Structure 1
Amino acid sequence: MDDSTKLFLQRFMRRIPSYMLRTTLEKWGRLTAAQQKSIDFTQSKWALTEALLTICEENKLAMKHLIELEMIYIMDNPNQGMWYVLQLLDPEDDAHSVELMQFKEQFKSHLKELVRHVSIKIKNHTDQAVWIRIAWGDAFSRPNHLKPTFGVHYLQTPYVFVTNLTSKQKPLLSQAVVLSTRYQAIKDANLSGRKLTAIRDLLMRKYQQVFPTKYPSPLAENNQTISNPHIVKEQAEPAANRLHMACKAFGGGALPQLQSAVYKLKTKFRDDPNKTMTEREEPFRCVVKFESTNLLESLRHCASSGIASTPVTPLLSCIPLKGRNYFVITDNDSGPSSQTHQPQN
């Protein structure tokens, strides 16, 4: 085992929590039952690392084997780092017939034509997601396995989720994805978050939506605020109406745990007494950011409890409607419009 492989394993061991190591190694399947049993998982992280290094050297494991170990851990724990969404555009006639093996072969072929030194590993997850790991190099350096890019693509959908992708690498990845999926273009979807599962569920509508039909009474009865016996009769109807409009805007039941939404304002400053600002030709520029551990749940609660007015403003209801959390607001548009959101590392 060379020094770069040892360093990779040491870095990996620093990342993975000790309580998850046993299960991850079992899924990896590169250790014998006796070797697995010989590891004392109650030891310090340093001692665990040394023990695993010794076993890997005994088994003559190389970098490609340790990459498998890393991917198992990341695939089981995807809500790490900052994920950004790319959206594929203009599918060709056979785009929906692309299969896994076809995608893998073409993606590797196209990317290796663009980058001289690159390491690509592709695995299919149990939820039908295609996971892509890319270690980037260039014309003069070998692939850097310590800073890989991860991508997730669900075949037959126009979305690609990426993390740890630099602006230099982005055009290369985008071109390879477009060619291997039979689309003609790709753009930023203006959606990002630290929970991959949350932004995936938001885009793919994997949460309970409330459509604009007659509101069923059981939902209102299940809400503790509405069923509070101290709410007088004349307050019950407005409260139920607020809950209805809040659920219609953001969805019912458990919602995707989106952490933030950003609104970039480029509007005319409106304050008649302040002539210095109102007479400016340049638009008033500022950024408004909403943050929460579960932003959609927080907004829904504000609307249903009366903290925020209803009907819910399109500035907020467009987050689940459009599947985005980055917007640019200008005087020329009736509502929030999207602008390309470049990932930042």
Structure 2
Amino acid sequence: MGDTPRRLLQRLIRRIPAQELKPTLEKWGRLSQAQLQTIDFTQSKWALTGKLGTICEERNWAVKHITELELIYNAHTVELLQFKEQFKSNLSELIRNVSVKIKKHTDEAVWIRIAWGDGLSQPNHFKPTYVVHYLQTPYVFVTSLNSKQKPLLSQALVLATSYHAIKDANLSGRKFTAIRDLLMRQYEQVFPRKFHSPLKERNQIVTDPHIEREQAESSANRLQMACEAFGGGKLPQLQSAVYKLETKFRGHNKSMTQREEPIRCVVKFASTNILESLRNCASSGIASTPVTPLLSSIPLKGRNYFVITDNGPGPSQTRQQN
């Protein structure tokens, strides 16, 4: 590596914030995982520059390779700046007396804090709305937003991200990471196989060998189907799943059968980790397998609120609303 690429590298490393250096190098793609693991990103910029310079010397990288890294960093920076400017400008045009703070997190997420006011009152900083958006993804996560503020936030986000509309995913919970991982499929998924070898059950309890041989195949198949429906390994920690039923009364009570309004009821499953609980129920035989679509739709569709309506005269003619 000559003097020019070395100086370019030194200048670029000084410009990139320390918390953004590792993800930027990963996007660059010219360093292997083994090489990335040898770099201590808690070191000073001077030490980091020396380490990267040594790797570049070994790989004999030229100016074109360093400028690739520069373009990756600058493109992402420009995108973030444009999003910040457009979002603040759009929201300020829609509502007066609003305070907006935007900061990029270390995991590439853009965190937005909004304190809402109106034409007469100043922003209320004691009841802010928090918004998390991952650039170049279609997902936005929101907390503490009322019905009056929702259309304002939606319009500002649509204009800033250049999407056509914002659609409610019908997914909620107390843990942001669980909602994010479920929507963005950041958990271990198990897919059906034509000629699959059943998954080994974790923490198997030793029982009578004759009974174990008889039940081994059915137990392994239940585990396979449970993991296909809900995922394998550690699952996103959702706390609940809600099913709202709207149906007509069927029976001999005329006053009930003639009423126009449907009968409504709500069924709620709650647990410290609802997906793990449902998977355990299916794999242990407490719940039947294959898993009903009403339950497997939680990870499949990335939501935990469903409305089930009755459309036909027969009790079995129901459909699940999307």
**Structure 1 length-normalised TM:** 0.65
Q: CA deviation at 1:297?
A: 0.2
- Tell me the secondary structure at the aligned position of residue 100 of structure 1: helix
Number of the residue aligned with 2:156: 176
Report the counterpart of residue 308 of structure 2 in structure 1: 329
The CA deviation string for residues 239-269 of structure 1, in whole angstroms up to 9 with x for no partner, is 1111111000000000000001111101233
Deviation of 1:229 after TM superposition, in Å, equals 3.5
- Structure 1 counterpart of 2:102: 122
Q: Which residue number corresponds to residue 91 of structure 2? A: 111
Gaps of 5+ in 1: 1-95, 339-345
Structure 1 residue aligned with 2:227: 247
Match of 2:196 among 212, 215, 221: 215
Mapped partners of 1:196, 1:253: distance in 2: 19
Task: Using the TM superposition, give the Cα deviation of residue 215 of structure 1 relative to its aligned residue in structure 2, in angstroms.
Answer: 3.3
Instruction: Provide, for residues 196-243 of structure 1, a one-character-per-residue CA deviation record: whole Å limited to 9, x for no partner.
Output: 0001000000110010114334x31x4234x63334311111111111
Q: Report the CA distance between 1:277 and its aligned residue.
A: 4.3
Contact 1:98-1:156 within 8 A present in 2 as well = no
Q: CA-to-partner distance for each residue in 1:242-301, whole Å, 9 max, x for gaps? A: 11110000000000000011111012335x566664565443210111110000000000
Report 1 or 2 for greater relative contact order, CA contacts < 8 Å, sequence distance ≥ 6.
1
Cα distance in 2 for residues equivalent to 1:282 and 1:98: 54
Equivalent residue number for residue 275 of structure 2: 296
- Per the alignment, do residues 276 and 173 of structure 1 end up closer, same or farther by CA in structure 2, a change over 3 Å counting? same
Q: Name the CA distance, whole Å, in 1 between partners of 2:283 and 2:293.
A: 16
2:287 counterpart SS class: coil
Contact 1:98 1:155 in 2 (8 A): no
> Does the CA-based 8 Å contact 1:315-1:335 persist in structure 2?
no
* Residue in 2 that maps onto 1:26: none
Query: Structure 1's 244 and 276: CA in aligned 2 closer, same or farther, altered over 3 A?
Result: farther
**Structure 1 counterpart of 2:122:** 142
Task: Give the Å deviation of 1:145.
Answer: 0.9
| Structure 2 counterpart of 1:233 | 213
Q: Residues 97 and 120 from structure 1, CA distance in 2 versus in 1: closer, same or farther, beyond 3 angstroms?
A: closer
Match of 2:287 in 1: 308
Letter of the 2:300 partner, please give it.
Answer: L
Contact 1:97 1:156 in 2 (8 A): no
Q: CA deviation at 1:336?
A: 2.3
Deviation per residue, 1:168-203 (Å, 9 max, x gap)? 111111100000000111121101110000010000
Provide the secondary structure at the position in 2 that maps to 1:297.
Answer: helix
Which amino acid in the other structure matches residue 309 of structure 2?
T
**What is the SS of the residue equivalent to 2:171?**
strand
User: TM-score, normalised on structure 2?
Assistant: 0.70
- Structure-to-structure mapping, 1:1-345, within 5 angstroms: 99-213=79-193, 214-217=195-198, 219-220=199-200, 222-225=201-204, 228-230=206-208, 231-270=211-250, 272=251, 277=256, 280-332=259-311, 335-338=319-322
2:140 and 2:134 map into 1 onto residues whose CA distance is: 7
Opposite residue 308 of structure 1, the aligned amino acid is: A
Alpha-carbon separation, structure 1, partners of 2:225 and 2:318: 21
Say if 1:314 and 1:335, in contact at 8 Å, map to a contact too. no
CA contact (8 A) 1:266 1:286 kept: yes
Equivalents in 1 of 2:99, 2:260: separation in Å? 51
Identical amino acids, percent of aligned pairs: 74
Letter of the 1:102 counterpart: Q
Secondary structure (helix, strand or coil) at the match of 1:316 reads: helix
8 Å contact 1:136–1:148 — kept in the other structure? yes
Partner of 2:37: none
| Cα displacement string for residues 6-33 of structure 1 (whole angstroms, at most 9, x for unaligned residues) | xxxxxxxxxxxxxxxxxxxxxxxxxxxx
Name which one, 1 or 2, has greater alpha-carbon Rg: 2
Residue deviations 1:76-127 (CA, integer Å, cap 9, x gap)? xxxxxxxxxxxxxxxxxxxx99811110000000001111111100000010
Distance 1:115 1:261, change over 3 A: same
In structure 2, the residue corresponding to 1:188 is in which secondary structure?
coil
CA distance in 1, matches of 2:207, 2:79: 57
- Segments of 5+ residues of structure 2 without an aligned counterpart are 1-75, 312-316
Secondary structure (helix, strand or coil) at the match of 2:241 reads: strand
Corresponding position of 1:9:
none
CA distance in 1, matches of 2:309, 2:123: 43
